[in-house]
Structure formats: structure tokens, C-alpha cells
Homo-oligomer: A and B are copies of this chain.
Amino acid sequence: MLRTEKGKIVTFLPSGRVVAADGRNILQLAQDTNVPIPNACNGAGTCGKCLVVLKGPATPPTDAELRFLTREQIDAGLRLACQVWPAGDVAVSVPESGPARILAEGAQVRFRRNPHIRKVHISIPKPSLDDQASDVARVLDALGPRVDRTALEPKLLRTISEVIRSAPQSASDPSKSSATAVLAGNRLAAVEPGDTTDSLYGIAFDVGTTTVVGYLVNLNTGERLSVVSDLNPQVAYGADVIARITHTMEDPRGLRRLQGVIIAKLNAFIGMLCEQAGISRSAVYDVVIVGNTTMHHIVLGLEVRNIALAPYIPVVTQPLSLRAAEIGLRANPQARVHLLPNVAGYVGADIVADLLVGRIDRRSGTTLMIDFGTNGEIVLGNRDRILACATAAGPCFEGGNISCGMRATSGAISSVSLRDGDLALETIDGAPPVGVCGTGLIDAVAQMLRLGILEETGRILDPEDVPGLPPAIRRRVRSTERGNKFVLCEAGQMGAECEIALTQRDIRELQKAKGAVYAGIKILCSHMGIAPEEIDRVLLAGAFGNYIRRESALAVGLIPQLPLERIRSIGNAAGVGAQMALLSTFERQRAERLARKVEYIELSSSKEFPTEYAEAMFFPTKAYA
């Protein structure tokens, strides 16, 4: 099976990283060299996402490449990384896609601020032959009886003597030294010379399958000082959690590798956040991390295989509090990290953070909350009961599995409306269109339904079967070997380099995804004993949920047919919830109670699911206005 000559050198650009080719294809070489190449099928040759520009001799294009790439593209050096082996020294670069549009703002919620980490300014009596108390006792005595005297860490003990001896004299009492104690709950975490109570910061991380967002917060004031976001570097190892877990099962070093790249990313974020705010990394004393259960486990280095295999068991759902250094995070050496609880293998700490924001347990009536990320998690609850389930709705709302799909980055068609008898498109950044993202897809399909060229079964009709279709629209429907396709943008139009169209297969992908979500909603309603129409409000969380047009979501039947005013976006609630947990011990405790309260409904073992799913694949008979 050796497809290449050995001993050839592969250089990855722009980093300049060099690796010797030895039978591995370009994707494998990139992964082993920590060069992120987006891909959705982890090398199976079925997603067509691992595009690279390759310069130099290489193996000829495979059938898979010929399916996804034009002859011109291949001639220009575009290849699929998983399908090409070097045949000599080559240089490889990943086409720029620009920074992703990520929701880093969230809804505003009121909550009580009492951070887990506090600073207390203390005056420590200087030792003398008449007062020979130990250094630790001297500090604890100054803090009073409410501080734990037994939980003392070696790292603190190894530095406390030097710290308190370097402390300046107290301004009010020359027999004492001025110092600041850092308390984690009721435990002494660190001591610093002088009064440093003003400098107390924390970072909240929302680690998504596709994107990572970090927020730097002043723990004294609650003010958010900086925000950074970027792709999760694990995307180089697969687009969804199943591909990531598969990577850990296929390679004994896979789990450590995935943990390594995400921790490195979080550390880079800590650096960027601090630099933007002009503070030192060592002023960060607390970190809160939320993410789906798989991301949560990988951050901690925990085994994830049993999340992928039935009956889908996570290692741990309890909230966890550790020293940040224990998982390799570089902040203050004594900084803590808190991970909100998970609910189940596919309802993670990010959904618990959503619940802190959504507060569905405190609202009258019944609330439906949907978090559209790379997976789709659904929660239905009221003051008495909270139900949750997860659907593999996944990638299509982020542009995955769609022929011209892309993430919500520059050039993605994000909005499709009807104007003057034809489509009107909007792209992110107003750039020339290069593909369609999730919100554009839902908009486009909603318009197709309104125009009548899409049957409720999902079939793209021939234009002649649709009376009264405007001529411009009529021209957009083309027949192909595999059913009709609907052209959103011709090559050349708006500066597009190639045609962007939805195929019959793309429509099927959306039907499956929205069918899964809607079936989940139906089953939760059935467990709750209500009809979907009885839902009092719908909260949409996550970036897709924030940008989606509610009308289109209703039109395609992604959510129950409810009055528009009952539907509301709560933005990137997971990130907001993580910041709440950073700023409030009460919210941490609430998160723990909420996670315990949620009843997880396993759809794969639900007898109703196959029927509900099949039924929900249809589009609503009457498109909502």
C-alpha cells in the first residue's frame, strides 16, 4: 500500500514546519505535525473539506478528489489532503478562510456576584522570640476563624516564607507586614506581598466542538475586559465529536494530542486576553470552562470512547474544581479551574451554562431551549421539571455535509430573501460569495418553500410544475443526474468564482437535521405531557440560534409553529453562563442543582423516535408568513 517514495520532505506554509514523508498522506502528516486542516470525515475522503494547496510532485488525483474538485482547481494545485501523498519534496498550505464569525456577546442576566476567588488585605505580625507562630499560622490568624486551617498545598507552603518576609511594613502598624491573602472559597490559595486586592481577574472559556471563546473578567467589578475567539484547533482531527473520539480510539496518543492542542489554545487565549487588557497572566486566579461533555473530558484528559459507544457513558458529570496547573493552564501558579457539571454524554456543561442564563426553572409556563452548535441539544422545562435530549443535528447548521456549505466566515451567504421576483443575497462582510452557511441555508430553503418549488417531502420540483414562478427564479432550477438543484448564485454573480447551489442531496441533509431536532422536541413534549403548541416560549442559544431568522426557522419547521413573539435568541448563552459561574459561587451551586435536576432522555432508545423522526423530515405543509 506504499503509495509514495520515502524520504521526501513536506514543508507546511506559512509556519514553515517540516516533516519527512514516510507513507503518511498530507492530512496525517499535518495532524502529526499539529498543522490544523479542517475536515469532517477524518480522512475517509467523503467530506471534501480538507482542501490544501500543494506545490511539488504528488500522487495523481483520486476518484474522491475528482468528485469534489474541478480539473482547473487540481491544475491550480488544490488537493484534498487525505487523498494525496508527496512524490518528492512538496510545500503545502491551507487556503485562508478568514476569522470565523463567532458569537462572543450574550444575553444580559442579573445575578448575585460572589466570586469563588477573593482577596483579603491582611496585616501580619512580624515574628519575634515572644511570638514564634509559624508563617502559615501567622497568616491564618490574620484571616480569622472562617478560613480552613487544614487544606494547605505544598506550592503555597514552599513560597509563603519568602513572600511574607518580602512584604512591606504595614502603614498603620510598624510591627506588622502588609500582605494580601488569596482565598479560594474558605481555603488559603496564595499570599502576596503588599496590598494587591485591586488585581483579581478570571477567565471563562466556552470550548465548542468547532469554536472556542475566551472572556477575561475583572472579578472585583464583574466588568468584562476582553474577548477572543477562534476555531478549536482539534478541527484538524475531525469536524464533530464522533470524529474526535474516533481519533482517540485509533491512536493511543490521540487523546493526549487532542488535549494538548486545546490546552495550548487556551493558554494562547490567556496570553491574548491579558495582553488586550494590559494585565499580567499571573493576575488570573480563576478559570471556568464549559463545553459539551466530549470537550469537557478532553480538556481534562479523560477517556471519551464510552461516550461514543452505546450506552454512551461519560466518566463524570459532577462539577470539578482543580488547580489550573493540574491540566497545564498557565495563569497564576495557584489559579483554580472550575468545570461546570455535565448532564449526560451528549448534554454537557455548556447546556448547564445555557440553563444559568435561560433560567427556565424560574419562569412561569414551559420553556423550550435549543442550543444549535455542532450538535443540537434540546431542553424543555418549567419550575417543576427539566427534560433534555441531544440530536446529531450537527454539521449542516454549520455548513457541514452541504455541497457548497461553509462555516459562517467571510463570503458565506448568510441571508436569502425575495426581492423583485428574484433572490437577494447577503454575505458575511459583504465579500464575494464562496458558499452558504447555516443561516443562509435555512433562509434559502424557507424561500424555496414559499415559492413552492420545494415539496413538503423535500423534492425540488421542476419549474414547469410550479405555476406562477417568477422567470428569474425559474432559471435557477436546473436538472442534474441526481435530481434538480437550485442555484443561489451563478459563477461571476457578485464576484463569485463558481456557482453556489443547493442540490437535492443538500435538501435531504437539512431535512435529516431539522427532522432530528423536531423529533427531539416532540419526544420531550410527549414526556412532559404537552403538545408542542403549548410551549410558552422558545429560547435559541448559540451562534446559529442568534443569527437565524425566526421566520425561516418556522418556515422550515425547525421549531414548533408558535407565534413569533414567543421565540427569542439568548445569544451565546454558554459563554455568558460560564462568566456567571466565574463571578458567582451561588451560580456554581445553582448549576450543580440544575444539572442534577435535568432528566436526560436518550433518543436512541426511544421507541417513538424513528416514527417522529420520519414524520419530522417533512417540511410544514403551510410555510409560515
A interface residues with partner B (beta carbon < 8 Å): 127-137, 149-150, 152, 154, 157-158, 160-162, 165, 300-303, 306, 310-322, 326-327, 342, 344-345, 600, 602, 604-605
Contacts and interface: CB of A to CB of B under 8 A. Distances in A.
Given A129-B602, A154-B301, A158-B303, A135 B314 contact: yes
A149 B319 CA distance: 9
B604 A129 contact: yes
* Residue from A127, A150, A313, A602 with most neighbouring chain B CB atoms (10 Å): A313
Nearest to A155: B326
A581 to B, nearest CB: 15
Contacts of A344: 132
Given A129-B310, A154-B301, A136 B315 contact: yes
Given A137-B318, A306-B135, A154 B327 contact: yes
A315 B129 contact: no
A128 B327 CA distance: 31
Nearest to A162: B303
A313 B152 contact: no
Contacts of A604: 129
Contact of A157 (B158, B162, B302, B600): B302
A132 B132 CA distance: 56
Contacts of A161: 302-303, 306, 313, 315
Number of copies: 2
24 contacts: A128-B311, A129-B310, A129-B602, A132-B311, A132-B344, A132-B345, A133-B317, A134-B313, A134-B318, A134-B342, A135-B313, A135-B316, A136-B315, A136-B318, A150-B318, A150-B319, A152-B318, A152-B320, A154-B327, A157-B300, A157-B302, A158-B302, A162-B303, A165-B306
B154 A322 contact: yes
A272 B321 CA distance: 37
Nearest to A604: B129
A600 B326 CA distance: 38
A147 to B, nearest CB: 12
Given A161-B303, A161-B306, A600-B132, A127 B313 contact: yes
A320 B158 CA distance: 13
Nearest to A304: B161
B129 A300 contact: no
B321 A150 contact: yes
Contacts of A327: 154
A608 to B, nearest CB: 14
A130 B607 CA distance: 13
A114 to B, nearest CB: 18
Q: Which 7 A-B pairs have the closest CB atoms?
A: A129-B605, A136-B316, A134-B317, A161-B303, A129-B311, A127-B313, A134-B314
A56 B342 CA distance: 70
Nearest to A129: B605
Nearest to A137: B317
Contacts of A149: 318
Contacts of A131: 311
A132 B319 contact: no
B132 A315 contact: no
Nearest to A317: B134
Contacts of A160: 315-316
Contacts of A311: 127-129, 131-132
A571 to B, nearest CB: 29
A255 to B, nearest CB: 9
A612 to B, nearest CB: 17
Contact of A158 (B135, B301, B602): B301
Given A136-B318, A160-B316, 19 more contacts: A127-B311, A129-B311, A129-B312, A129-B602, A130-B605, A132-B312, A132-B602, A134-B314, A134-B317, A136-B316, A137-B316, A137-B318, A149-B318, A152-B320, A154-B322, A154-B326, A154-B327, A157-B316, A161-B315
B313 A157 contact: no
Contacts of A165: 306
A262 to B, nearest CB: 15
Nearest to A312: B132
Contacts of A317: 133-134, 136-137
A321 B157 CA distance: 13
A536 to B, nearest CB: 29
Contacts of A134: 313-318, 342
B135 A315 contact: yes
A154 B300 CA distance: 7
A132 B604 CA distance: 12
Nearest to A310: B129
Contacts of A342: 134
A315 B319 CA distance: 33
Contacts of A136: 315-318
Contacts of A130: 605
Contacts of A320: 152, 157
